[in-house]
Amino acid sequence: MKILVAYLSQTGNTKRVAEAIYEQLEAEKEIKPLSEVESLEGYDLAFIGFPIHASNPAAEAKAFLEEKGKGKKIAIFVTHAAPEDQEETRRYLENCKACLCEADLVGMFDCQGELAQSIIELLAKSDNPRHRQFAEYGPQTKGQPDESRLEKARAFARQVVQECGGA
């Protein structure tokens, strides 16, 4: 089985999750930024990771999945600033699934990542009360994803590979 782990990471959160997933794979494997992936041809399984921006998958990831995901086995991993148990987070994840309508979605993992200070400051100054409320997540996100979340990502990787017929 040949596996790709590709990620879009601007602050390092998604890259850390990608590395945790990659280290669990006992197969022929590659890891690279999403911007370096031209095609999913030749891979039996792809783990694709990206952050949520404004309630949706990051635009680059959405375009990649819609253009290159058709008929491919894909497991996605998503980072976001909101706590995992928030109802709004579930809606964000549904938006992520929507861009995989022609892919074979074999798994999805999400976890909280640290909200960049520059984003916290931008949100806090917004005229939009929802944005200001979101800025309040900032202190809760410090240090995320932590080791417990990375361990959950590793377990996710093992489970997906096993379910897809790998070792």
State in words which class domain 2-115+147-163 has: alpha beta
pLDDT in tens, 106-153: 999 999 999 999 999 999 999 999 889 889 889 999 999 999 999 999
Residue-level pLDDT at 126: 94
d(CA 123, CA 132): 5
> Residues 34, 40, 42, 43: is their CA dihedral positive or negative?
positive
Q: Which residue has the higher pLDDT, 85 or 147?
A: 147
Contact 98, 72 (CB under 8 A): no
Contact 11, 81 (CB under 8 A): no
Q: Quick check: 65 pLDDT over 70? A: yes
Taking the model in full, what pTM does it have? 0.93
Q: Quick check: 167 pLDDT over 70? A: no
Q: Which residue has the higher pLDDT, 47 or 94?
A: 47
Q: Quick check: 48 pLDDT over 70? A: yes
Mean pLDDT for the chain? 94
Q: Quick check: 28 pLDDT over 80? A: yes
Residue-level pLDDT at 166: 77
Beta strand extents in 12-66 (DSSP E only): 28-33, 45-53, 56-57
